[in-house]
Structure 1
Amino acid sequence: MRTCSPAVGTHQSAAVPALVVLVLGALVLGTSELAVAGLLPAISADLKVSTGTAGTLVSAYAVAVALLGPVLTALTSHLSRRQVLVGALVALAVGNGVTALAAYFPALLAARVLTGTAAAMYAVTALTLATTLTGPERRGRAVAIVFGGITVSAVVGVPASILLGGLFGWRAVYGVLAALTMGVLVTAVRLVPEPAPAPPSSLLIQLKALVRARLLVTFTINAVVTAGNYTASTYFVALLTQQTGLSTTTASALLLTSGVSGTVGNIAGGTAVDQHARHALLATMALLATSLILIPLVMTSPVLTWLVALIWAAAFNAFSTAAQGNVSLQARPATDVATAANISVFNIGIAGGSAAGGLVLHLAGFTGIALAGAALVIAGLNTALLFLPSQRKPSTRT
């Protein structure tokens, strides 16, 4: 079986096709996660449950990612990353297939839990393999590659899923996703090489690495800044239609351009973190806070709101990539488990920010959620300035 070493990953002919496979897997994964929100009314009507009950499908997925992802990553640390990747794709295909066929809501809920668990395992393993293929000196760009697939899923995969669901029903969406996952699985078996074995690391050593003070501070910053973003972004469509006065169609077009901007920010964040991880983190947080502060000042102007939204999307996606890059640098030799934990941290931030935003929106309106989000991001920025000193770039030597 082919193997690749971090030192020579960029020189191997297998690298580019394998990276493309990892991106396609992330694209399918992201669509599997995000499409369900747009299909909730159809699912609710089909299975004869309330919309609120159907909404627990989103929560079940998030809980599986947050709780089961780190545990299974630790338990499978003795397996090769390629084996785990293949296993995660099998589970993702099964989860999407059961989602398409489920006749009762409990079965559908269980399928979403399986899909969320598989997604967490895939994301962690794909990040590790991408880093191996690109080399440690391009760790940030490896993160950007995988995260880029998830970002593109929001821009392309979700609208396509909603269109397909409107034409053929919500089950067709997950039937197609199951088939696409199988396609990625077959291609991954053929094209993704086995990485060179990593030095053995016991579970105890990994757990000790996870509780380092610096890493715990980084996790906290990532959760707080993510919460700050989602305090406002969760209700951005409502802001566009109710405050800015855009039609639903125009708001959708604006979100599409924001998705493209987010993809650019993702790439920029990955490149920047390879040059100087701490500077990249600080710069993206400062830009994100500035964007949130500007939103209340421009939200009555469609053009200015659109321009700020482009910067906002780029800033948050760049932050997410830089944040994951910083975790990877700090967590060695527990990179995989720390990556899974950081994905959980992101999900905690999303859930907490969305909930906080709903409360603030009720009390202080759209201006309130933007400023509350900015305050959380600034809190994360100040914490990073105080407690995260500079860290050297990873050595290219093996």
Structure 2
Amino acid sequence: MPIAILALALGAFGIGTTEFVMMGMLPNVAGDLGVDVPTAGQYISGYALGVVVGAPLLTALTVRLARRWTLVGLLVLFTVGNLLSALAPTHETLLATRFLSGLPHGAFFGVAVLVAAALVDPQRRGRAMATVMLGLTLANVVGVPVGTFVAQSVGWRWTFAVVAFIGLAATLAVAALAPRDDAGSSATGSLRAELASFARPQVLLTLAVVVFGMGGLFAAYSYVAPMLTDVSGLQESAVPWVLVVVGVGMTVGSVVGGRLADRSTLGTLAGGIVLVIAVLAGLAALLHSAPAAIALLFLLGFASLGMGPAIQMRIIEQAGGAPTMVSAGVQSAFNMANTIGAWLGGLVIAAGAGLRAPNLVGAGLAVVGLAFLACSALLEVRQRRAAGAAGAGPVDEDARVPVPA
């Protein structure tokens, strides 16, 4: 695997850490800033909203720039956002800095997976994208538990300071190692072509699968710390270790998902969503048992992040040769899922339904995601039949389209 992909994975590690670490240290930040846990959930939604806004905006602004320098600029913005989060004095200020930190997230992943895919043979693109996303999953094995431990030991501000340092290291690594002969996407398409790809029904359906399928993950995972301490009966000091287990599940899922996606994107997505539904239903029923909750959280991480490579590959396949914006759009959809899931999970908690309820909300969201995936599969069958009737021959559901170099 080219070393430049590892530099991209380091950037993904820092981004994944700052996105997910808030879930582990939510009670600590809430207590320090004088807000309750449902209100503190806005720090998760605020970051996600930054991704939703930043992914299309920053991608549009940089679509004609060299991808190497686009990545560097995005990582600089990410580093500054986390440094400001470490210094945020009030609830409102932290909301603003979390939004700022989220702005470069989607554009970074949108460009990074395209750079990674262009560095390898077509048969290995799923694994190359999975390697970039592996940084995201390793963040849940190492970054999130360590960040949670730091927050509990010396304060949550130090967690953001460490993330800012990781961002600086990633900036230097990408500047040194990313391909230097990349003139951006202007050689293969215009901004108009990039935006037009969003009008494709399969692109819209895939984004809907992400919003609702991944919304199920965030409805539950956003409140994992109070679930474990208040219902499962674990001590606060045990939460980082459970997050390690979840992170291992995400890492294994990403690796396995990359290999499965090279075989069938639709099959990988269908299996992942079905497993998410089953796991969330199990959590709602068995959350009182700490061993069962830990095992199910491992499977939740495995199923959710295992779908990542398949999602990226499928939307690039459907983009019609203009993949940059839709690739970033996946991250917007992912964080719309974060926003919706965290909001709905906090809503049912605030309504007095208890800490089991977000799991049921998440299962319901995932069912909606599965319905959109079924619509996508049916549309693909109709397109294949129409192509066959027109004399174009059978269409391979996993046919690869060229990824711009």
Residue number among 322, 331, 339 corresponding to 2:319 in the alignment: 331
Q: What are the equivalent positions in structure 2 for 1:295-310 lying under 5 Å apart? A: 295-310=283-298
**TM-score, length-normalised on structure 2?**
0.82
Residue number among 162, 166, 170 corresponding to 1:184 in the alignment: 170
**Take 2:176 and 2:57, find their aligned partners in 1: how far apart are those partners?**
28
Determine if contact 2:217/2:362 at 8 Å carries over to the other structure: yes
Determine if contact 2:148/2:240 at 8 Å carries over to the other structure: no
Q: For the structure 1 residues 219 and 195, does the alpha-carbon distance in structure 2 shift closer, same or farther, using more than 3 Å as the test?
A: farther
Q: For the structure 1 residues 71 and 40, does the alpha-carbon distance in structure 2 shift closer, same or farther, using more than 3 Å as the test?
A: same
Determine if contact 2:41/2:346 at 8 Å carries over to the other structure: no
Corresponding residue number in structure 2 for 1:74: 60
Residue number among 54, 79, 82 corresponding to 1:96 in the alignment: 82
**Take 2:328 and 2:31, find their aligned partners in 1: how far apart are those partners?**
35
Q: For the structure 1 residues 284 and 187, does the alpha-carbon distance in structure 2 shift closer, same or farther, using more than 3 Å as the test?
A: same
1:356 equivalent in alignment to 2:344:
yes
Corresponding residue number in structure 1 for 2:117: 131
Corresponding residue number in structure 1 for 2:279: 291
Determine if contact 1:81/1:195 at 8 Å carries over to the other structure: no
**Residue 332 of structure 1 aligns to a residue in which SS?**
coil
Residue number among 10, 19, 31 corresponding to 2:5 in the alignment: 19
Tell me whether 116-125 or 100-109 shows the greater mean CA deviation: 100-109
Q: What are the equivalent positions in structure 2 for 1:53-202 lying under 5 Å apart? A: 57-101=43-87, 110-165=96-151, 168-194=154-180, 196-197=182-183, 198=185, 199-202=187-190
Tell me whether 363-372 or 252-261 shows the greater mean CA deviation: 363-372
Query: Given residue 362 of structure 2, which amino acid in structure 1 is its aligned partner?
Result: G
Corresponding residue number in structure 2 for 1:6: none
**Residue 119 of structure 2 aligns to a residue in which SS?**
helix
Q: For the structure 1 residues 169 and 201, does the alpha-carbon distance in structure 2 shift closer, same or farther, using more than 3 Å as the test?
A: same
Instruction: Please list the CA deviations of residues 274-305 of structure 1 after superposition, one character each: whole Å capped at 9, or x if unmatched.
Output: 11111111111122222223334444443333
Instruction: Please list the CA deviations of residues 190-242 of structure 1 after superposition, one character each: whole Å capped at 9, or x if unmatched.
Output: 22213555543122211211111111111112111112222333334444334
Determine if contact 2:188/2:321 at 8 Å carries over to the other structure: no
1:317 equivalent in alignment to 2:323:
no
**Take 1:114 and 1:88, find their aligned partners in 2: how far apart are those partners?**
11
**Take 2:154 and 2:138, find their aligned partners in 1: how far apart are those partners?**
23
Q: For the structure 1 residues 51 and 318, does the alpha-carbon distance in structure 2 shift closer, same or farther, using more than 3 Å as the test?
A: same
Q: For the structure 1 residues 78 and 380, does the alpha-carbon distance in structure 2 shift closer, same or farther, using more than 3 Å as the test?
A: same
Residue number among 4, 16, 34 corresponding to 1:30 in the alignment: 16
Residue number among 159, 182, 194 corresponding to 1:206 in the alignment: 194
Query: Given residue 35 of structure 2, which amino acid in structure 1 is its aligned partner?
Result: T
Residue number among 375, 379, 383 corresponding to 2:364 in the alignment: 375
> 5+ unaligned residues in a row in structure 2: which ranges?
382-396
- State the identity as a percent: 31
**Residue 193 of structure 1 aligns to a residue in which SS?**
coil
**Take 2:161 and 2:245, find their aligned partners in 1: how far apart are those partners?**
28
Deviation at 1:154, TM superposition (A): 2.5
**TM-score, length-normalised on structure 1?**
0.83
Query: Given residue 147 of structure 2, which amino acid in structure 1 is its aligned partner?
Result: S
Query: Given residue 240 of structure 1, which amino acid in structure 2 is its aligned partner?
Result: L
Q: For the structure 1 residues 250 and 40, does the alpha-carbon distance in structure 2 shift closer, same or farther, using more than 3 Å as the test?
A: closer
Tell me whether 230-239 or 211-220 shows the greater mean CA deviation: 230-239
Report the count of equivalent residues: 382
Q: For the structure 1 residues 42 and 190, does the alpha-carbon distance in structure 2 shift closer, same or farther, using more than 3 Å as the test?
A: same
Determine if contact 1:135/1:396 at 8 Å carries over to the other structure: no
> 5+ unaligned residues in a row in structure 1: which ranges?
1-14
RMSD: 3.1
Tell me whether 35-44 or 178-187 shows the greater mean CA deviation: 35-44
Query: Given residue 267 of structure 2, which amino acid in structure 1 is its aligned partner?
Result: H
1:51 equivalent in alignment to 2:57:
no
1:387 equivalent in alignment to 2:371:
no
Query: Given residue 245 of structure 1, which amino acid in structure 2 is its aligned partner?
Result: G
Deviation at 1:73, TM superposition (A): 0.1
Corresponding residue number in structure 2 for 1:8: none
**Take 2:276 and 2:97, find their aligned partners in 1: how far apart are those partners?**
35
